[in-house]
Amino acid sequence: MSNLNYKHFTLGVEEEYMVIDPISRELKSHEQKIVQVGQLTMKDKVKAEMHQAVVEVGTDICKNIDEAFKDVASLRGNIAQIAGDLGLWVGASGTHPFSHWENQLITDHVRYNQIVNELQEAARSNLIFGLHVHVGMEDRKMATHIANTARYFLPHVYALSTNSPFWESRDTGYKSFRTKVFYKFPRTGIPDHFESFEAYENYVNLLIKTNCIDNAKKIWWDLRVHPFFNTVEFRICDVPMNIMETMTIAALFQAICAKIYKLRNQNLNFMIYQRSLINENKWRASRYGIDGKLIDFGKETEVDTKALIYELLDFVDDVVDELGSRHVVEHVAKIFEVGTGADRQLKVFKETGSLVSVVDYIHDQFLRL
């Protein structure tokens, strides 16, 4: 066993939830009441988002996946309780099955007003719900190296998270339509490879100098070296429907970082692939979820997505015990068995022909493991 210390690979999990009218099942503005009540006990772990029908929560910095699990479960439970007391529901899906963005109110906040003023309809229509996972890093130099390499695995994990098949009452044909909505924003998608953290800093500083952005938080890539924290932030995934799916994805991102770190300390590396190639796999993951094929660029051939995800599990197998996350990573088999959130939404719709029933199912799954 190596003498490497993995303790700096802490976890932080952010989730965006939809607020639902229990009568109509439409999205509904909570007028920040959920945030106001939540902050009395959860402080800044609950926040408003750009649309008033969205609530964002974030965990503390967690030293391992079990701590993160307890925090996420507590946050979901508290938010569901507060919403219920206010006569509202909450749910977790990358998009709402039928609510239209035109009917939703924007939160009156200087940052959101600036974004809407700049991006116009792209911002107003960005009614989507994501999962962001922060993995702690020992320094920003290592964070840049890990982010460069981890890009390849984004579609694999993204496929497991797919949970947005419907958009404005339509079956989109995609397992994750959320990313298609988000593409309208600038500075999104798979990032380029950066030779060093200094090269990344130079890029950010150029954008600030030329008034493209006022700070690096307006870089909305699928993963990024966080501008203020010593973390790599994974942003590609739909918010998962239930708690264990969220934890499985968080554990996988943590394990990928730890394995790349281990290879680096053995003077080994994983192949760095072009953004254009990784994008091919991202598109396949958004379209087919875990039921399609991804490209194995090393072998230059298509491979069943599930088989490539099993290869990913083999890749990280020698670090998950050190991280204490094997019992969570193994939940991938359950996702393969019952399907992703998108698969289950589509199954309910096929059985009932009712998008209202799909919303009921999303709400019912919110506190499930």
pLDDT digits (tens, 9 = 90+) for 312-324: 999 999 999 999 9
Give 1's pLDDT tier (boundaries 50, 70, 90): very low
CATH class, domain 11-365, is alpha beta
Query: With pLDDT > 90 as the criterion, what percentage of the chain qualifies?
Result: 85
For the segment 132-147, the average pLDDT, to the nearest whole number, is 96
CB count in 10 Å sphere of residue 130: 21
On the CB side of 346, CA atoms within 13 Å amount to 20
Distances 240 to 29, 106, 202, 296 between C-alpha atoms, Å: 21, 24, 35, 26
Residue closest to 336 by CA, chosen among 153, 160, 145: 160
From 29-38, 116-125, 310-319, the region with the lowest mean pLDDT: 116-125
pLDDT in tens, 64-86: 999 999 999 999 999 999 999 99
All structural domains of the chain with their residue ranges: 11-365
Specify the pTM.
0.96
The tokens describing 60, both together, are 């503390």
pLDDT of residue 169: 97
